[in-house]
Amino acid sequence: MPERIVVKIGSSSLTSDEGGLNRERIAYFASELAALHAQGTSVILVTSGAVAAGFRQIGYPAKPKVIHEKQAAAAVGQALLMQAYQEAMSKYGIIAAQILLTRADFSNRKRISNALMTIEELLRLRTIPIINENDTVSTDELKFGDNDYLSSLVAAMTKAGQLVMITDMDGLYTEDPRKNPEAVKIERVDQISEEIMKLAGDSGSSVGTGGMRSKIEAARIAMRGGVHAFIGKVQHPGDLALAVAGNGRGTYFDTLLDSLPMKKQWLGFHSMPKGKIIVDYGAEHALLSGGKSLLPAGIRNIEGEFHPGDVVEVVSENGETIGRGVVSYAAWQVQAAAGLSTEEVRRRLDVARIEVIHRDEWISLR
8 is in an annotated binding site: yes
| The pLDDT value given to residue 201 | 61
214 is in an annotated binding site: yes
215 is in an annotated binding site: yes
| The pLDDT value given to residue 115 | 94
| The pLDDT value given to residue 65 | 85
Tell me the C-alpha distance between 269 and 60, whole Å. 35
Over the stretch 139-198, which tens digit does the pLDDT of each residue have? 554 466 679 999 999 999 999 999 999 998 899 998 888 888 888 999 999 988 888 888
Question: Where are the extended beta strands (E) located within 34-93?
Answer: 42-47
178 is in an annotated binding site: no
211 is in an annotated binding site: yes
| The pLDDT value given to residue 25 | 95
3-state secondary structure of 98: strand
pLDDT average per 10 residues of sequence, the chain (366 residues):
92 82 95 97 95 90 87 92 97 97 85 94 98 77 72 94 94 87 92 83 45 89 94 96 96 90 86 94 93 95 95 94 95 96 92 93 89
212 is in an annotated binding site: yes
168 is in an annotated binding site: yes
Question: Where are the extended beta strands (E) located within the chain?
Answer: 4-9, 42-47, 96-101, 128-133, 162-166, 172-173, 185-186, 188-189, 228-233, 249-253, 275-279, 299-304, 311-315, 321-326, 362-364
342 is in an annotated binding site: no
Global pTM reads: 0.84
Over the stretch 91-125, which tens digit does the pLDDT of each residue have? 999 999 999 998 888 888 889 899 999 999 999 99
| The pLDDT value given to residue 20 | 85
17 is in an annotated binding site: no
| The pLDDT value given to residue 138 | 64
Tell me the C-alpha distance between 175 and 327, whole Å. 42
Tell me the C-alpha distance between 306 and 276, whole Å. 9
Residue ranges of domains in the chain, CATH in brackets: 4-263 (3.40.1160.10), 273-364 (2.30.130.10)
What count of other Cβ atoms lies within 10 Å of the Cβ of residue 181? 7
The β-bridge relationship of strands 311-315 and 321-326 is antiparallel
